[in-house]
Amino acid sequence: MKNALRTALVLLALVTPVGFAQRFYLGAVAGTPLSTQMETVTDSFELGAQLGVNATPSFGVRAAVEGNLPRGEVRLGSLAALFRFYLPLSANALYLGGGADAFLSGVPGSLAELRTAPLGAHAVAGAEFRFGRFGVFAEALPGYVLGRDPSNPSAYYVRARGGVNLHF
């Protein structure tokens, strides 16, 4: 496990400058579940942060964490690929995508539990309105907890997120 983590960190260090040479953004996120059948998914209003890299103007990837960040609790980690559709004559965009979620216990330093954390797959539909370097976004994320019985309603979840991005 140590070698895999070390390799991942080295690859991240090598890829980060390439990603930053593209357009990237940092964001503050507020999210809440909309589904009533929650068992695994976070069950309250949470704050988070995200980092996104746009390889092209229409395609990008982002990583996000959510939880009670002032107390150091991380409840949800996610990765997503996004396809942007710009509105005519503006920097405003609608976007669609998909990604994966890892549901964490919230204990500080819980990144080691990623191996055993329940995983989910989600779709993304949202909009971002740009004001210069700042963007305000809102999105819905319907998802499925992997490995659960598809006929069980608790296998599905819907989350809503919104926030502000700073584009570089």
The answer to whether the beta carbons of residues 143 and 121 sit under 8 Å apart is yes
Position 42 scores a pLDDT of 53
Task: Please name each of the domains of the chain with its CATH number.
Answer: 24-167 (2.40.160.20)
Tens-digit pLDDT profile for residues 26-85: 999 998 877 645 454 455 678 999 999 999 989 999 999 888 767 777 888 899 999 999
Tens-digit pLDDT profile for residues 26-40: 999 998 877 645 454
| pLDDT band at 18; cut points 50, 70, 90 | very low
Does pTM top 0.95 for this prediction? no
Strand positions, DSSP E, the chain:
23-33, 46-56, 59-68, 73-86, 93-103, 119-131, 134-145, 156-167
